[in-house]
Amino acid sequence: MTSDYGDGIPEERSRPNPAWKIAMVSVPAFLLLSTAWALWFWWKKSQDDSVDPRLALVSVAAEVEELEDSLHKLSKVLGPRDWESVEGRINMRRAIALIDGTLSPRNYGFAVRTGEHLAHAGERWPTVWVDLAGVSDPMRILLVNAAYDRSDAAVALVLAVARDLRDEQFGPTIRFVFHPAQLYRGQAEEKSLTDILGKNELHSATLVPEGPGGGAAPRGPWNGAQLKPLADAFAQRVRESVSAR
């Protein structure tokens, strides 16, 4: 050893500071762990924001089941509807009650209105409707229509679209209407659905369900799975129609 001091006492070799060793190891480890945590957090958030395919399948199944239920009640439970027989007119009343109950506050959440009562065989027959109130232009009315004395599929489709759009917001008002088509045409002066418009309400357009290829929705037979793509397409037509006006 060499002596650096005048007293001849040799100088001790300096020892490395343990704190520096800890810092040199812990800082890179911390950076590595924090980066890994950030990546995991980003991945987890992206997973949470995405739609679980299983939930999507459940939603589709529920919609198909709802369509199937409407069709079954209209065609099987209520029985055939016609204007010529007492039984057919009784079934018509049942169909009106089904539409009212399905749309009502305890089910789909709409306030149901009736009007334009037309006479047939000494009885009065209503037009039934509900409104999805517009946000920016509520006095402009888009009529979405099905005849309750005609196609079960058309009634089921309009009910399904009312349910699908009820939580969405649009500028104009969408009015879902169910009317007795034969009685509208059987008047001395043929009636129009626009007769249900209130004071200062403006008619935007009238949409009716279509079958494959763009024709009128046929009377059947149909099932829920077959109607589901038609319901989706019709809902999109309604969205596009109110957005374009």
Q: What is the DSSP string of the chain?
A: ----STT-PPPPPPPPPHHHHHHHHHHHHHHHHHHHHHHHHHHHHHHHHSPPHHHHHHHHHHHHHHHHHHHHIIIIIS----SSSHHHHHHHHHHHHHHHHHHSTTTT-PPPEEEEEEEETTEEEEEEEEEE--SSEEEEEEEEEEETTS-HHHHHHHHHHHHHHTT---SEEEEEEEE-HHHHHTSSS---GGGG--TT-EEEEEE--B-GGGSBPPS----HHHHHHHHHHHHHHHHHHHHT-
194 belongs to a structural domain? yes
What does the pLDDT average to over 157-161? 95
More confident residue, 177 or 212: 177
Q: Which residues pair with 115 in a beta bridge?
A: 127
**Total domain count, the chain:** 1
Residue of 134, 133, 130, 131 whose CA lies nearest to 245? 134
Burial 194-225 (b: 16+ CB within 10 A, else e): eebeeeeeeebebbbbbbeeeeebeeeebebe
> Which pLDDT score is estimated for 218?
55
Q: How far apart are CA 38 and CA 58, in angstroms?
A: 32
Amino acid sitting at position 230: L
**Out of 37-41, 52-56, 208-212, least confident range:** 52-56
- Check whether 122 has a pLDDT greater than 80: yes
What's the pTM?
A: 0.74
**Out of 19-23, 76-80, 221-225, least confident range:** 19-23
How confident is the model over 98-120, as pLDDT tens digits?
A: 999 999 999 999 999 999 889 98
Most confident option among 53-57, 89-93, 240-244? 89-93
User: Beta strand pairing status for 123-132 and 113-120?
Assistant: antiparallel
- Distant-in-sequence, close-in-space partners of 171: CB < 8 Å, separation ≥ 6: 134, 135, 136, 137, 140, 242, 243, 245
Q: Which two tokens stand for residue 217?
A: 């929705």
Identify whether the C-beta of residue 222 lies closer than 8 Å to the C-beta of residue 153.
yes
How confident is the model over 57-103, as pLDDT tens digits?
A: 434 566 899 999 999 999 889 989 999 999 999 999 999 999 999 99
CATH number of the domain where residue 179 is located: 3.40.630
1 belongs to a structural domain? no
**Out of 48-62, 77-91, 189-203, 204-218, least confident range:** 48-62
Expressed as residue numbers, the domain containing 134 is: 54-243
> Which pLDDT score is estimated for 39?
53
179 belongs to a structural domain? yes
What does the pLDDT average to over 125-137? 96
Residue of 146, 209, 130, 142 whose CA lies nearest to 178? 146
122 belongs to a structural domain? yes
The rounded percent of the chain whose pLDDT value lies above 70 is 69
40 belongs to a structural domain? no
